[in-house]
Structures are given as C-alpha cells and as structure tokens.
Amino acid sequence: MKIIYTRGNRTETLASISTLRKILGRFVHHRVFYEVSSRNKRGHEFFSTKNTFVVGSIEVVNRDYLTITIFDAHNSTHSIEILNPSALRIYDETMGKGFAVSFLSESPGDVESRCYLRDEGEESDGIVERCELEKITLPQLFEYLEEITHVVDPVGPRVDPPTATLEPIRSAAPGA
C-alpha cells in the first residue's frame, strides 16, 4: 500500500504495520465522520453512505491481505472493515479542519472504492450522548407526538349541555 501525503504532495510506500497503526491511532476515542463510496473513474457514483461515530478501537491485520477494522465505541454492531486498500491518502494540511485520511481500492473495470475518515474532535468535545428523542423507539415517538399535539381547551374540559326531556306536569292533588 502506498501512502500519499497531501502536504508536500509526496508519495511513500508503507514502511510497516506499526506505522499504519500509529497513523490511525489518532482517531481512537475521537468522534469521526466517515463516507464510504464507490464510483467509476469518470466520476459516476454508484453509492455513498455517510455517518459519524466515536471510534472505540482500530484493528490492523496483515495475513493474506491487509484488513483494517474500525469499531464504534457506543455500538458493538457497528464497524467499518477496509479490505486490501491500494493507497492511503493523508489530509493534514488544513489547520482547524481536523486530521483526515482516505483509503482507496481499485478493482477491474475502472471502479474505485473509497473510505474517507475525518477527525471531528475528542469524544467529550462533541455530543457524547444522543438526545432523548434519538433514544426512544418509533412507537414511543408516536405516543410522544400524540401527547404534545393533543389540543386542550383553555377554558377547561368540554362539557356537553344536559339533554332535557319534557314530561307532562302532573298535579300532586288526587283526583284532579
């Protein structure tokens, strides 16, 4: 895998797995924005997905091919796995924008896949906990919406007027 530094526009070959671990270690316990996309060389995009999460750990393994797995700190079912990337581009020239990298993979037919990661700051810098509205289930959301949109009469509860039935008046005197 080659490493492309945007600062100074230089390219190097990856020296070691420990170097890659050190580069990616900057993301651990940080909120990260990511985009995974695939497109052909002419720029026509096939798909793209974007999200943010806090990185819990990063695993780099080089057995038959290089595998990089990035784990979400708050959701054990969420991770990103990058298989056999051909290049790593490092974006570190812009101060204040955060450190970023992208992994590039090319396949036959001029199709390029990319995984872009950008550091959004330490976990405590951003929103650590999801807001209460994001934590509730869909049925709970509908219940909540029903509660807040239920119109209450400011005068009080609505009372229907009494219904009157007219009965003939009977005199109390016998035989009358």
Question: Could you report the per-residue pLDDT of 118-168, keeping only the tens digit for each?
Answer: 998 887 644 445 556 556 677 777 777 777 776 555 555 555 555 555 555
Tokens 């298989």: give the residue. 83
Q: What is the mean pLDDT of the chain?
A: 77
Cβ atoms 103, 85 nearer than 8 A: yes
Which residues, 6+ apart, have CB-to-CB distance to 160 below 8 Å?
A: none
Domains of the chain and CATH, by start: 2-122 (2.70.180.10)
Question: Could you report the per-residue pLDDT of 144-157, keeping only the tens digit for each?
Answer: 777 777 655 555 55
Which residues, 6+ apart, have CB-to-CB distance to 58 below 8 Å?
A: 21, 24, 25, 27, 28, 68, 69, 70, 71
Tokens 């796995």: give the residue. 81
DSSP code, position 25:
G
